[in-house]
Amino acid sequence: MAAATLTARGQIVIPAEIRDRYGLVAGTQVEFVDDAGSIRLVVHRRVPRTDPEAGYGLVKVPPAPADRPRGRLVDFDAATLAQRARRGRS
Map the chain to HEC letters: CCCCCCCCCCCCCCCHHHHHHHCCCCCCEEEEEEECCEEEEEEEECCCCCCHHHHCCCCCCCCCCCCCCCCCHHHCCHHHHHHHHHHCCC
Query: What is the pTM (predicted TM-score) of this model?
Result: 0.47
- Per-residue pLDDT tens over the stretch 6-46: 999 999 999 999 989 888 888 888 999 999 999 999 988 77
- Which region holds residue 88: left if phi is over 0, alpha if psi is between -120 and 50, else beta? left
- Per-residue pLDDT tens over the stretch 42-64: 988 777 777 778 777 777 777 77
Q: How many folded domains does the chain comprise? A: 1
In a domain, 84, yes or no: no
In a domain, 65, yes or no: no
Query: What domain range includes position 23?
Result: 1-49
